[in-house]
Amino acid sequence: MPLEDRYGLPLSTSYDQAASAYREGVDLMLAGWTGTAEMLESAIAADPDFALAYIARARVHAFYQQGDLARQKAALARELVAISGTERERSHVETLALAIEGRGADAIAAMFGHIERWPRDAVVLSLPLGAFGLFAFSGMADHDHARHALCERVAHHYGEDWWFLTMSGWAMTENGDVARGRAVTERGFDLRRANAHAAHAVLHAMFEDGSIEDADRLVDEWIPTYGRAGILHGHILWHQALGALEHGDATRALKIYADVLQPSATQAPPLNVITDSASLLWRLSAYGHAVPKALWAEADATAQKLFPKSGLPFADVHMALFAAATQNREALATRLAMIEQRLADGKLPAGPVVPAICRALSAFADENYAACVRELAPVLTEVVRIGGSHAQRELIEDTFLVALMRSGELPCARSLLDARLHRRPSLRDTRWQAAVA
């Protein structure tokens, strides 16, 4: 009888130890848990010809922007699976390899074809899901809906699977069905508490429904079970820092930043390093709190090393935050020129919203709030194209709102706040509502 993964799909290895380590490694990866890389390395050691273990390990390398290692293992997985893999495994490896190589559109097409035939291949299904998945970074304006629709299509294949409940619930939340999304995600979280993606998804639902105190308690109670090396450790505490800002507690937010988000303290993947640090520091400044210049300088220096060139719009927007906050006009102009060239060449699927946001952030940092409003107003409904989650993208709406107030456009600010309060009541919005009353 062939060995199988946890979802009942056959594995082309004859070694029980390799299959067991692979199953555990995949579960750890799907949970965002510590020990993932080590477990997948154990699977490779137990069977050096096991292609699926190599491609899974390559994906973890890709999470941490270890591009050369990721591509090397992906290439080896292709070679191995061509020799001894099944049709399903060959398709599995090819789809993940396309994603690792940055060929997003090809990877999405391959994923759809693969899931049509093997809907219970959770590793392939995971590719388009989440705030940093293929859909989110595709430039699509409807990626929230696309994730939800995909999960609905395959839900009957998964039942009460802890990973699927986590991701499908989060897709519901991001697509606007917050109450249902929170309930489904919490169901998955209850099935496996050692699941950082579930804790993270629940925090997003709590952000959307205004349950700031519940979110704070969840982080305090759960985070001691999760190692600092966990891929989402810092980001989950970033959510707690947002909650502190909801209460106007800048001191606590800065303490969280110093403990786990500051580049010298974090163990997060590069994309989280720059986005979590830039967005929290920018929010602090935009809400009127003092941010030491040294914090901006350190984070900016790290960001410039990690993302020296334009590429991913979500990263580009956060790099623009650094350049604007540090008044590095040369860096901003250089990045903006690269972005606009990619737009002109038809290589920027997210479209004109990306350079517009960068110009608006520069104007905001220069205290030219009217110019910030002029840049952002026409593209606010397109901000979703840069990817990330709604909680992350709300930074742009916050910037627009502050710019409206500081440029004296109070009726417009009131209208925006009314729409937000209808969608998601929160303490910060209530305070801003008083400011424009």
Q: What is the pLDDT of residue 430?
A: 56
134 with 104: CB under 8 angstroms? yes
Q: DSSP characters for 27-71?
A: HHHHHT-TTHHHHHHHHHHH-TT-HHHHHHHHHHHHHTT-HHHHH
Among residues 395, 374, 252, 376, the alpha carbon closest in space to that of 321 is found at 395
pLDDT tens digit string along 23-55? 999 999 999 999 999 999 999 999 999 999 999
Q: How many helices, marked H, and strands, marked E, lie in the chain?
A: 23, 0
Is 162 in contact with 192 (CB distance < 8 Å)? yes
Helix pair 353-365, 369-376: axis angle to 10 deg:
170
Handedness of CA 257, 266, 385, 165 (dihedral sign): negative
pLDDT tens column, 211-252: 999 999 999 999 999 999 999 999 999 999 999 998 889 999
* Residue 347 to residue 239: CA distance in whole angstroms: 32
CA distances from 426 to 201, 278, 395, 402 (A): 18, 22, 15, 16
DSSP class of 119? T
Counting as low any pLDDT under 50, the low residues of the chain are: none
What is the residue-wise DSSP string for 226-266? Answer: S-TTSTTHHHHHHHHHHHHHHTT-HHHHHHHIIIIISTTT-
Query: Helix 427-436 and helix 410-423: axis angle, to 10°?
Result: 160
Single-letter residue type at 244: A
Which is nearest to 252 in space by CA: 224, 216, 276?
A: 216
Residue 419: the pLDDT is: 79
Block residue for tokens 């060239």: 341
CA gap 107, 31 in Å, rounded: 22
Instruction: Please name the helix (run of DSSP H) or strand (run of DSSP E) that holds residue 352, with its range, or none.
Output: none
SS3 118: coil
- For position 423, what pLDDT does the model report? 72
Write down all domains in the chain, each with its CATH number in brackets.
Answer: 16-127 (1.25.40.10), 307-437 (1.25.40)
Q: What is the pLDDT of residue 386?
A: 97
Rounded to 5 degrees, what angle do the CA atoms 372, 296, 252 make?
A: 100
**pTM of this structure:** 0.95
Closest CA to 379 of 402, 400, 407, 363: 400
Other C-beta atoms closer than 10 Å to the C-beta of 377 total 15
CA distance 241 to 250: 9
- Per the CB < 8 A criterion, the answer to whether 275 and 392 are in contact is yes
Please, what is the Cα angle at 310 between 305 and 316, to 5 degrees? 85
pLDDT number for residue 39: 98
Predicted confidence (pLDDT) per residue in 59-94, tens digit: 999 999 999 999 999 999 999 999 999 999 999 999
Among 51, 73, 49, 52, CA closest to 61: 73
Measured distance CA(295)–CA(293) in Å, rounded: 5
User: CA nearest 70: which of 97, 90, 95?
Assistant: 97
